[in-house]
Amino acid sequence: MSVVAADPAGIARAAQILRDGGLVAFPTETVYGLGADATNGQAVARIFEAKGRPSFNPLIVHIAEAGDVHAFAVAPDHFAALAKAFWPGPLTLVMRRKPASPVSDLVSAGGSTIALRMPDAAAATALLRATGRPLAAPSANRSGGISPTRAEHVAASLGKRIDLILDAGPCRVGLESTVLDITRATPAILRPGSVTREQIAAVIGAVVAGADDPSAPKSPGTQLSHYAPSLPLRINASAVRPSEAFLGFGPGAATLNLSPTGDLREAAANLFAMLRALDDANRFTGIAVAAIPDRDVGVAINDRLRRAAHQNP
């Protein structure tokens, strides 16, 4: 892991690492984010691994221009006014994902929404433009720790778990962005931040201080969300019952295989999409899933599978 200045040479180096599937911590006006190419599922899986004992919570996707939203989300009526008033800036907007969005399912924790933000920091904007990709980026610290506002905080927390830290000094805001859900009839603040409810209401009218749905959270920092298949799900399966689909891991025959080579990052990147593909009552009566090693990002995979199996015993 290296720490480099957020100058043109550092930005170029960081952008190449991100395009190659690596992890780069970068400064925004709020906190330092742990960035990965949001369109690369395996790179996104590395975020959860680096942060320690990972959970598949929704991640905020950072974009360079307000118009980039339309490639990833269905923008509702309130979007234009909010973007004009607060972007770039510390406001994250939760919107419906486009069905053909190139962003990894892992970013949305398998859900139907996506959280998007346009940061107001020169280094972040330069990095986004140089990379040419949307960047998924939670705070650049180990899970449960204090959010980092300086490069040295990132280094102390994550160290060799990431590839590069871009240093542009202390963050200007130092508080995570406000998260506003605009998929509801009345927009709801899911996480308060420096953009206040009153400021938002002055632009779009009624706004509520809402709670996230624990069964399907849309915002980072709320209870874990899991896509639960409609079919019964069995985990740690060593044999397949008649008419069951088999979701494999490692070498061997399977209906679909999370990773034939036993790569946990590849498995994490494939998990939600493959569960959806097998959740077909016209073809199967249930889904059996091979045992997944309970280490690294496998902890998150198993947590996801245990909850899904509990919901569909």
pLDDT tens per residue, range 159-186:
999 999 999 998 988 888 989 999 998 9
- Is 124 domain-assigned? yes
With CA atoms as reference, report the closest residue to 113 among 125, 128, 101: 101
In a domain, 221, yes or no: no
Neighbours of 163 (CB within 10 A): 20
The answer for residues whose C-beta is within 8 angstroms of residue 144's C-beta and 6 or more apart is: none
Higher pLDDT, 277 or 227: 277
Q: Name the phi and psi angles at 193, rounded to 5.
A: -160, -155
pLDDT value for 229: 84
Helices (runs of H) and strands (runs of E) counted in the chain: 8, 16
Q: Is there a domain that residue 127 lies in?
A: yes
Cβ distance 287 to 278 under 8 Å? yes
| Across 230-255, average pLDDT | 94
Neighbours of 253 (CB within 10 A): 8
Contacts of 156 (CB under 8 A, 6+ apart): none
* Residue 39 or residue 298, greater confidence: 39
Residues 6+ apart with CB under 8 A from 95: 69, 73, 74, 75, 76, 79, 113, 114, 116, 182, 183
Q: Are residues 18 and 100 in the same domain?
A: yes
Q: Under 8 Å CB-to-CB from 223, ≥6 apart: which residues?
A: 212, 214, 217
Does 277 reside within a domain? yes
The model's pLDDT over 50-60, given as tens digits with 9 standing for 90+, comes to 998 666 788 99
Q: Are strands 32-37 and 24-27 parallel, antiparallel or unpaired?
A: antiparallel
Pick the last residue of a domain from 163, 194, 209: 209
- B/e letters for 129-143, b = 16+ CB within 10 Å, e = fewer, are ebbebbbbbbbbbbe
Shared domain check, 169 and 21:
yes
pLDDT number for residue 226: 37
Q: What is the mean pLDDT of the chain?
A: 90
Domain that holds residue 288: 233-311
Tell me: pLDDT of 94 over 70.
yes
| Domain end (from 175, 209, 243) | 209
Q: pLDDT confidence of 216, banded at 50, 70, 90?
A: low
pLDDT above 60 for 244:
yes
Residues 191 and 138 in one domain: yes
Residue 241 lies in a domain: yes
Question: Which position has the higher pLDDT, 217 or 117?
Answer: 117
User: Do 8 and 87 sit in the same domain of this protein?
Assistant: yes
Q: Report yes or no on 293 lying in a domain.
A: yes
Is residue 228, in this structure, part of any structural domain at all? no
Of the candidate ranges 8-17, 80-89, 139-148, 149-158, the one whose mean pLDDT is the lowest: 139-148
Phi-psi region of 89 (alpha: psi -120 to 50; beta: other; left: phi over 0): left
Does position 313 have pLDDT exceeding 70, yes or no?
no
Q: Please tell me whether residues 257 and 166 are part of one structural domain.
A: no
The overall longest dimension of the chain from CA atoms, in Å, is 60
Of 244 and 216, more confident: 244
Is there a domain that residue 178 lies in? yes
CA-based R_g, the chain, Å: 20
* 110 pLDDT above the threshold of 80: yes
Same domain, 198 and 266: no
Mean pLDDT calculated for residue range 126-148: 92
Q: What is the pLDDT of residue 248?
A: 97
Domain total in the chain: 2
Residue 29 sits in a domain whose CATH number is 3.90.870.10
**What pLDDT is attached to residue 223?**
42
Q: In this structure, are 244 and 205 located in the same domain? A: no
The reply to whether 163 and 304 lie within a common domain is: no
Both 69 and 169 in one domain: the answer is yes
Q: Same domain for 285 and 184?
A: no
Q: Are residues 188 and 253 located together in one domain of the fold? A: no
The pLDDT score that the predictor gives to residue 222 is: 44
Predicted confidence band of residue 225 (pLDDT cuts 50, 70, 90): very low
If 0-12 CB within 10 Å is exposed, 13-18 middle and 19+ buried, where does residue 144 land? exposed
Task: Looking at mean pLDDT, say which of 77-81, 106-110, 214-218, 228-232 comes out highest.
Answer: 77-81
Taking the C-alpha atoms of residue 303 and residue 307, their distance in angstroms, rounded to an integer, is 6
Q: What local confidence, expressed as pLDDT, does residue 96 receive?
A: 96
Q: Are 165 and 19 members of one domain?
A: yes
Residue 218: per-residue pLDDT:
62
First-residue to last-residue Cα distance in the chain: 44
Spatial contact of 64 and 125, defined as CB atoms under 8 Å apart = yes
Mean pLDDT, range 34-42, rounded to an integer: 97
Can you give the length of the chain in residues?
Answer: 313
Pairing of strands 178-181, 233-234: unpaired
